[in-house]
Amino acid sequence: MSWTDQLCVRSVLCMALATRTDRRPSFARTVWDSTVGKKTVMAVSGLIMLLYLVVHMIGNLKIFFGAGEFDHYAHWLRTVGEPFMHYEWTLWLVRVVLVAAVVAHAVSAYQLSRRDIRARPGKYAHRKARASYATRTMRWGGIILGLFIVWHILDLTTGTVHPGFRHGHPYRNVVDTFSTWYGNVVYIVAMLALGLHVRHGFWSAAQTLGVGSRTRDRALKTLANVLALLLTVGFIAVPVAVMTGVVS
Amino acid sequence: MKLTLRVWRQRNADADGTMSTYEVDGISPDMSFLEMLDTLNEELIVKGEDPVAFDHDCREGICGACSLVINGDAHGPERTTTCQLHMRSFKDGDTIDVEPWRASAFPVIKDLVVDRSAFDRIIQAGGYITAPTGAAPEAHATPVPKPDADLAFEHAECIGCGACVAACPNGAAMLFTSAKINHLNVLPQGAPERETRVLDMVEQMDEEGFGGCTLAGECATACPKGIPLMSITSMNKEWLRAARKVKR
Ligand code: HEM
Ligand code: SF4
Ligand code: FES
């Protein structure tokens, strides 16, 4: 018997504690049922999407090197990993992971937000706006991003909402989208929302995962700002280039 | 000083409350906020009206009994407890809004008094050590490194007032719970229950109906004892470590 167990035998409290310990549910259950755990799901899924977005943004910049290079890059995405992977296998693998991340992120966000609103039903008569700024921008920004993701796929992947969409000609399709005023507005608003979301989200994720600390705080905040700015500017560069005729 | 007070009046837990307006005169800038309310109550009693119910005990900033959201700020405009807030922080002729802590987990009992027993149950879930302590041990028997002692002390300063919950847009009790967990988890005396403590206290916190953390940071701004926001980061880290480690 270890010395802690010996102490336990003498302590009623500890025996109660021991019984509690025996009934612990699985790791997955513990995570999903806890506010702290569910926030971890948000952080991990958020970081997966963030990683993808950085790669996606860099890929998009190929549009500045002409239709040949851009369309070739789009085709290459379907052949990544060959000959080990079959045509489009890698692409579908990435898609499955991303859909899982989006769903996990959105479901956790919804459940946590519901809980938060229930926990604080009454408003103070004396209002202070600052209190919920970050929370509000995360929720509204998240909803905007969710809607944008759906629209974006229907516009440039499936072409469902894109009149004159041509499969296998992404350069043409992109120029097409950004030649309409609503295409530009939807895209630019969503990218500004993305910047705000990443700015608070990246730093938050570090706190949720317990890697933040007093000495690292400034570096993490700077990194969050740099990432947010880079993503927003990098993504918005494409519609701006089409609008100004740099890309046509 | 002459002041106009708008005070939350609520007959009992089930009644609807409203903000009622009172005038108080002859307030000295050297009075504490609670002494100012005492003055109001003396007048109300003389007039045969029901005095305003509010919590208080030590009146020296150490017990955590006093509360009140004053002009939208938990414990008022200074970083201190309401009992240590002086009327010199206000101007003659000011209108001051006085409200109770607002959170589902802290239901109003009467006027400005809320039921904070949810905090007691969080402590009962693991905010103690199980070793039989007996008389004070010899101080050098268990060496504690100075940085750990300082960290434990910083967290031990939490007086359990609940201002963090009152200020949080999500009615979350993360700052309180993290202070209590970190206080014991950094010390050798707290080591035997390091994992069960964090898992059980967080579980109880969720069960009480507190919200989750969105890292708005309002709690740390409101805390009269300066418990840092990073305390929550440390708790998240402890929780993730424990969730992975505890055997099932
Ligand atoms: C489906 C669309 C989305 C919705 C509905 C959504 C919603 C939210 C909400 C409400 C939060 C705050 C949660 C809280 O603080 O409790 C959040 C956090 C976060 N989001 Fe999103 N979001 C979406 C898309 C994205 C995208 C595309 C990214 C990738 C950059 C992302 C990255 C993050 C990160 C890293 C966090 C921080 C997690 C944490 O605080 O630990 N989100 N999201
Ligand atoms: S963390 Fe600060 S605000 Fe919260 S209960 Fe403790 S002393 Fe009060
Ligand atoms: S009355 Fe004890 S802290 Fe204010």
* Averaged pLDDT, groups of 10, chain B, 248 residues long: 97 96 96 98 97 97 97 96 97 97 97 98 95 80 92 97 96 98 95 95 98 95 97 97 82
Q: Assess whether pLDDT exceeds 50 at residue A14.
A: no
Q: What is the tens place of the pLDDT at every residue in A208-231?
A: 999 999 999 999 999 999 999 999
Query: What is the per-residue pLDDT for B228?
Result: 96
Q: Residue B242: name the closest of B208, B212, B202 by CA.
A: B202
Q: State the CATH number of the domain containing residue B166.
A: 1.10.1060.10
Instruction: Give contacts of A210 with chain B, Cβ < 8 Å.
Output: 233-234, 236-241
Which pLDDT tens digit goes with each residue over B60-76? 999 999 999 999 999 99
Cα A212 to averaged position of ligand 1 atoms, centre (Å): 18
Model pLDDT, residue A127:
82
Rounded to the nearest 5°, which phi and psi values hold at B32?
A: -80, 165
User: CB within 8 A of B85, min separation 6: which ones?
Assistant: B32, B33, B70, B75, B76, B77, B78
Are B101 and B171 within one domain?
A: no
Do B122 and B190 fall within a single domain?
yes
* B151 and B181 belong to one structural domain: yes
Rounded distance between C-alpha atoms, residue A2 and residue B229, angstroms: 36
The number of folded domains in chain B is: 2
A 31-60: CB under 8 A from B: 31, 33-40
Please check whether residues B124 and B106 belong to one and the same domain: no
Residue B153's domain spans which residues?
116-245
Minimum CA–CA partner of B170 in chain A:
A116
pLDDT for A23 equals 66
Q: Which of B87, B110, B133 is the last residue of a domain?
A: B110
Q: For residues B132 and B209, state if they share a domain.
A: yes
pLDDT (0 to 100) of residue B200: 96
Q: What is the CATH number of the domain that holds B94?
A: 3.10.20.30
Model confidence at A161: pLDDT above 80: yes
Residues B36 and B77 in one domain: yes
Task: Domains for chain A: give ranges and CATH numbers.
Answer: 22-117+131-244 (1.20.1300.10)
Q: Report the amino acid identity of residue B131.
A: A
The H or E element spanning position B24 is strand B18-24
ipTM, 2 dp: 0.92
Q: Kindly report the nearest CA distance between residue A126 and chain B, in angstroms.
A: 5
For chain B, give percent helix, strand, coil, nearest 5: 40, 15, 50
Dist CA B17 CA B6 (whole Å): 12
Is A133 in contact with B168 (Cβ distance < 8 A)?
Answer: no
> How far away, in angstroms, is A7 Cα from ligand 1 center?
45
Residue of B nearest to A126 (CA): B72
